[in-house]
Structure 1
Amino acid sequence: MKLATIALAGSMALGLVPAVSGTAAAHPVTSKTLTDNRLYGAGPLPATDCRERPVKKKDARSAKAYLNEMLNCLTRSWGPEFDQAGLKLSRVKLTYATQVPAKYCGAKWRKDDWDGYYCDASHTILIVLSKDLLEEPGDLYLFNLLATQYGEHVQNAAGIYRAWYRLDYGSKAELTEQTRRYSLQSSCFAGASLRSVWKSFRRAHEDWDDLLYYLRGWAGKYSGNRKSITYWANEGFKSGDPMACNTWTAPSSKVA
């Protein structure tokens, strides 16, 4: 199966991060919106009843039906969480393509760039239902792909995206680390999302282990190495709690 690349790497290439300002931010990150967000104190996500629809091989229609239902489940999980935190969760739109678009959300795409992309400006998730993606649709990859993009929506709604975007940095290395912290947090939120629906999925733990194997393929300069990606995804899944996803206070070794 073709593995998705974290969309933030593309954002970096397009210069969608702030330019270096005159005052460089020192490690560690000090923004309270990032390090002490109200979402972290809301407790674990509520257990949500979510039944998976069967997805047929090479069948875009059944994949859309599956993902549409999973989006409803994610909203039911995160809505009460935002209420508990005293935050407002805006609605997210879900759209599809069967081929990689030439351009989306201001970003130029190349063939096989991404399977999914969250547009912060329009609160829209795009899923590219390519032939490769639909080749093995029965595993948890489809859910996690959507949940990771939804994790970016959570970051956007909680003010994390804007706070990250506005961070000062003193070097390219510092900027790259900040981007990894942001990317790894969305992976952790996806793991927490899966924990909230896990009981109703009635899957074996081996399915989670298989997903962790796939996630290693998302490793990169801006998304984190294999160890970091699997660590944060597993932290979210084990706890189901956004507090476990506070990548902003973690040591650099945990977000390498």
Structure 2
Amino acid sequence: MLVGVAIVLVLAVNVFRAVADVLQPLVPGISPSASASESREPEPVVEPAEPGETNPGLPPRTWEELPGPDSTDPDWKTLQQSAIYAQPVPLLEGCPEPELAYDMGDLERIATGQMECIQAAFKPIQAALGYSTDDIPIYFYEGRSVDTPCGQVSAPALYCSTQGGAIYFGEDSLNGASWMDFGVKDVTGHEYGHHLQAQSGMFQAEYAVGQGGNESARRIELQATCWGYAMMAHDPTQSVGEASLVEFEQYLRATIEDGIHGSKDSMAYWGIRGLYSADMGNCNTWTVAPEDVD
């Protein structure tokens, strides 16, 4: 799944971050010509989730309520009580169908379409919160590193928050994108989740409270994963039934545990929790105990 490094550049009073996410190599025994997604039995078609509702295609599951905020520190309040948490997960309309990406042409076509529908869906929320509604650019690069306004970064995919934000997809993104047909949706939603965090002031606040520590970095990453899967559950093109749930968890547990992006258990917990999220606050990783973001 997603692993990587976070690079933080402090310039004057601004914190600019490049968040790099590295896809797990293909699971042994699964080739692009025999992917898990292609062998899946079709699932019953159900009505998609509406904004602020849980996807009706998901099997019933009870989730514990997240703890409330417990800090009066301004930075912790930014993280624990962000205004975005009260917003519903929007319906993503006009997204491309789930599809395996085998080359850079596939990746650019699918990711561009997915970004268009995500950015359109979040504009009303951004406007309501006073955030910029400008589309952020996406770039595609060959090789394992790319020069960005945040510096040179070696990673298959990343978000750079400076100059309003941008998302970068490298050719190594094809590892996951050629394994599961929702792989591009996973990465795109995760990276756009980082953009929402940047707009909410979370990057600056996380740097202040964490001082580069791994626990706060994991909270940032697991929240972005949770939001990414919440987006997929509100994407009418994406199946989220029993069989898909098994694949989602398999994909999430394929993470390489690097101390920054979360353990296999944490990735699976927050990703699946995202699927069951009706509002953005259901992905609040900032009020839970450290062992819940290990």
TM-score, structure 2 length as denominator? 0.69
Give the drift of 1:126: 0.6
- What count of residue pairs does the alignment treat as equivalent? 231
Deviations 1:146-200 (A, max 9, x none): 111111011011111121122265xx8xx22111111111111111111221x33
Partner of residue 248, structure 1: 286
Misfit runs of 4+, over 6 Å: none
Deviations 1:120-154 (A, max 9, x none): 11311110124853872651111101111111011
CA, structure 1 residues 250+146, in 2 after alignment: closer, same or farther (shift >3 Å)? same
Contact (CA 8 Å) 1:191, 1:236: kept in 2 or not?
yes
Q: Which amino acid aligns with 1:182?
A: I
CA distance in 1, matches of 2:179, 2:128: 34
Pairing 1:156–2:194 present: no
* Equivalent position SS for 1:91: coil
* Equivalent position SS for 2:292: helix
RMSD value, Cα: 2.8
CA, structure 1 residues 66+124, in 2 after alignment: closer, same or farther (shift >3 Å)? same
User: Unpaired segments of 5 or more residues in structure 1?
Assistant: 19-26
CA, structure 1 residues 255+226, in 2 after alignment: closer, same or farther (shift >3 Å)? same
* Residue correspondence of structure 1 range 17-28 to structure 2 within 5 A: none
* Residue correspondence of structure 1 range 32-43 to structure 2 within 5 A: 32-42=77-87
Pairing 1:63–2:107 present: yes
Partner of residue 126, structure 1: 168
Pairing 1:214–2:251 present: yes
Contact (CA 8 Å) 2:158, 2:168: kept in 1 or not?
yes
CA distance in 1, matches of 2:177, 2:115: 21
User: Unpaired segments of 5 or more residues in structure 2?
Assistant: 12-69
Pairing 1:224–2:265 present: no
Contact (CA 8 Å) 1:176, 1:221: kept in 2 or not?
yes
Overall identity of the aligned pairs, in %? 21
More strand by share: 2
Contact (CA 8 Å) 1:115, 1:133: kept in 2 or not?
no
